């Protein structure tokens, strides 16, 4: 099979180009014309750290901590350190499994929103030093550092800015000092760190005040102590893709006018451009022409191997079909895949997750190790395209054609390419393949790198609870949409209820949201209501809108159950009577 590249470009794109490159960011001089902006954008390139980061393709996230032992996604910071006691913690097993699965780096949640620290910090007693694990002498970060060195794995650190345990949170200067002290410990005492991960999580402090983070100070500490590390999400090295579903955009630009939140002017500039992290368009010509500055800010797709980010006994890992789709929609769409694999309460990667990771590794190797580009008799249904991003990201629109029976036939098309683009299409046999560049910002440096025949795994499984479902079609549902929306279910006769599942709405309307905080009440006659003790929060449901299961501390008996929304993820709740599933106790 022969390949070729044909360029069908506008005259402007073929004009002579200046050779100057702009590394990582550029500011347009006053008076720069629209065409000059596009030309300059074509010559914006990654720095060496970003280029090495994009080459990794696969990074593992390890969500492990207090939530592992409480069963929650977001702890409230009131948990006792006595709960943390992984009796068989084995970081060698973590790294060995991940290395065998093809990962190049692991990022550990050294501190999540509950404020519990996995290292013996001097900044708070809410850490492993106060736990029974190893009689308070343990250090998860140090263990993982040794394991990474042993197996040749890079190490990254996630340190949550939001801290629901710290009394000083909301007293901005005091908390920023504490955060800098924690960051300094992590970046000083544990060897080389290759990625530092700060999300923008921010809540109200115990004093009722909103914390104002000193992002530039945090960044300076990181640059001083670990100059070779990339700063992800709030930083200007690596960008959040905008969802936690494992999907990169069909049009994923690494060159974007979206201003990283680390800069104080980010909100004003981004609002003026009408964009944010979840916008579909982050790099079109129209946006570039309106912008005053651009950044090389590539996308990282973060998603968990399970529905939740922490380990829960009642959850199963995603199927191979789901993970293969995630791979194609992340690595295959100009992004790095950050896949979370949460260790269980024993302190090991669960066998089910290990098995699924090995299945994914075999699927990748089986389908993409052999390049069929020079095999004329082979059927293909996928190709990989690449741009030389050391010269910039330039391709705006392309098509792939196959020569069959002496006729060129289009088999796929798209917009951006970037570091890597994987395209799938119905099976064909072709004598030659051709990549047509239909639109480009200057001279394109793209190629049709390989052709493959891939096998897609079977269908995905639906969420299934370990608790029996009580819900009946005969029950009466009512939905209130007032200031405090609520769901009321009349079960017609008294039932023993163990809990419920809330399935959040799927809506692309920015005005519609899901329940974030809630209250549960029961009644025997529908008049006098008794509140059921629950944590009252669907942690992370905005970014990760999956079904969430709530199990009561003790089963309750009632005819009526009412779930009231006290806070939504959007301006208004999008309610429906099929979003609540009632669960019975286990048999």
Which residues sit opposite 572 in a β-bridge? 512
User: pLDDT per position in the chain (587 positions), as tens?
Assistant: 666 555 444 433 444 455 789 999 999 999 999 999 999 999 999 999 999 999 999 999 999 999 999 999 999 999 999 999 999 999 999 999 999 999 999 999 999 999 999 999 999 999 999 999 999 999 999 999 999 999 999 999 999 999 999 999 999 999 999 999 999 999 999 999 999 999 988 888 888 888 999 999 999 999 999 999 999 999 999 999 999 999 999 999 999 999 999 999 999 999 999 999 999 999 999 999 999 999 999 999 999 999 999 999 989 999 999 999 999 999 999 999 999 999 999 999 999 999 999 999 999 998 999 899 887 778 899 999 999 999 999 999 999 999 998 999 999 999 999 999 999 999 999 889 999 999 999 999 999 999 999 988 864 445 567 788 887 878 888 888 777 888 898 999 999 999 988 888 765 555 567 888 899 999 988 888 999 988 888 877 877 777 888 889 899 999 999 998 888 887 777 666 568 888 999 87
In words, the CATH class of domain 476-583 is: mainly beta
| pLDDT score for 417 | 98
What are the structural domain ranges in the chain? 48-363, 476-583
Dihedrals phi, psi of 367, to nearest 5 degrees: -90, -25
Do 406 and 484 meet the contact criterion of CB atoms below 8 Å apart?
no
| pLDDT score for 461 | 47
CA nearest to 553, candidates 472, 496, 478, 499: 499
Is pTM beyond 0.85 here? no
Q: Which residues of 318-349 are buried (b: 16+ CB within 10 A; e: fewer)?
A: bbbebbbbbbbbbbbbbbbbbbbbbbbbebbb
| pLDDT score for 570 | 75
Cα-based distances in Å from 166 to 110, 157, 170, 207, 309: 15, 20, 9, 11, 23
Give the HSE-up count for residue 409: Cα atoms under 13 Å, Cβ half-sphere: 13
Which residues sit opposite 407 in a β-bridge? 404
- CATH number for the domain whose boundaries are 48-363: 3.20.20.80
In angstroms, the CA 459 to CA 519 distance is 36
Q: What stretches of 19-132 adopt beta strand conformation (E)?
A: 22-23, 25-27, 44-45, 58-62, 105-111
| pLDDT score for 442 | 93
In angstroms, the CA 452 to CA 471 distance is 47
């Amino acid at each position: 099979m022969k390949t070729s590249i044909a360029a069908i470009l506008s005259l402007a794109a073929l004009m002579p180009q200046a050779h100057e490159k702009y590394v990582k960011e550029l500011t347009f001089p006053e008076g720069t014309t629209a065409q000059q902006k596009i030309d300059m954008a074509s010559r914006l390139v990654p720095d060496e750290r970003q280029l090495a980061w994009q080459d990794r393709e696969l990074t593992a996230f390890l969500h492990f901590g207090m939530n592992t032992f409480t069963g929650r996604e977001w702890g409230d910071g009131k948990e006792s350190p006595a709960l943390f006691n992984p009796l068989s913690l084995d970081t060698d097993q973590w790294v060995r499994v991940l290395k065998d699965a093809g990962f190049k780096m692991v990022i550990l949640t050294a501190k999540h929103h509950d404020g519990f620290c996995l290292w013996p910090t001097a900044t708070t007693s809410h850490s492993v030093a106060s736990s029974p694990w190893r009689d308070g002498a343990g250090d998860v970060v140090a263990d993982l550092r040794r394991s990474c060195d042993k197996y040749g794995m890079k190490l990254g650190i996630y340190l949550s800015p939001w801290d629901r345990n710290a009394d000083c949170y909301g007293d901005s200067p005091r908390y920023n000092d504490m955060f800098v002290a924690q960051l300094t410990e992590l970046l000083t005492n544990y060897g080389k760190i290759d990625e530092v991960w700060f999300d923008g999580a921010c809540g109200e402090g115990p004093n009722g005040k909103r914390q104002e983070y000193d992002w530039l100070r945090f960044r300076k500490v990181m640059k001083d102590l670990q100059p070779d590390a990339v700063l992800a999400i709030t930083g200007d090295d690596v960008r959040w893709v905008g969802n936690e579903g494992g999907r990169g955009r069909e049009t994923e630009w690494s060159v974007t006018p979206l201003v990283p939140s680390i800069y104080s002017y980010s909100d004003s500039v981004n609002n003026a451009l009408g964009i944010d992290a979840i916008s579909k368009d982050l790099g079109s010509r129209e946006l570039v022409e309106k912008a005053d500055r651009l950044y090389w800010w590539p996308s990282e797709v973060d998603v968990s191997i399970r529905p939740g980010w922490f380990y829960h006994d009642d959850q199963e890992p995603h199927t191979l079909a789901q993970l293969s789709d995630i791979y194609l929609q992340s690595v295959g769409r100009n992004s790095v895949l950050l896949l979370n694999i949460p260790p269980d309460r024993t302190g090991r990667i669960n066998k089910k997750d290990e098995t699924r990771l090995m299945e994914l590794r075999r699927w990748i190797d089986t389908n993409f190790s052999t390049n069929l580009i020079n095999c004329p008799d082979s059927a293909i249904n996928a190709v990989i395209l690449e741009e030389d991003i050391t010269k910039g990201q330039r391709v705006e629109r392309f098509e792939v054609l196959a020569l069959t029976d002496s006729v060129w036939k289009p088999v796929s098309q798209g917009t951006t390419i970037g570091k890597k683009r994987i395209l799938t299409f119905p099976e064909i046999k072709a004598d030659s393949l051709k990549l047509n560049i239909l639109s480009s910002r200057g001279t394109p440096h793209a190629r049709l790198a390989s052709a493959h025949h891939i096998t897609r795994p079977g269908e995905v499984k639906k969420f299934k609870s370990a608790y029996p479902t009580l819900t009946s079609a005969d029950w009466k549902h009512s939905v209130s949409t007032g200031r405090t929306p609520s769901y009321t279910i009349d079960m017609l006769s008294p039932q023993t209820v163990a809990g419920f599942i809330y399935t959040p709405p799927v809506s692309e309307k920015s005005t519609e949201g899901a329940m974030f905080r809630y209250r549960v009440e029961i009644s025997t006659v529908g008049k006098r209501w008794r509140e059921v003790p629950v944590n009252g929060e669907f942690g992370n449901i905005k970014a990760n809108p999956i079904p969430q299961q709530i199990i009561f501390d003790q089963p309750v008996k009632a005819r009526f159950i009412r779930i009231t929304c006290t806070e939504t993820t959007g301006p208004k709740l999008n309610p429906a009577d099929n979003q609540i599933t009632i669960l019975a106790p286990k048999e």
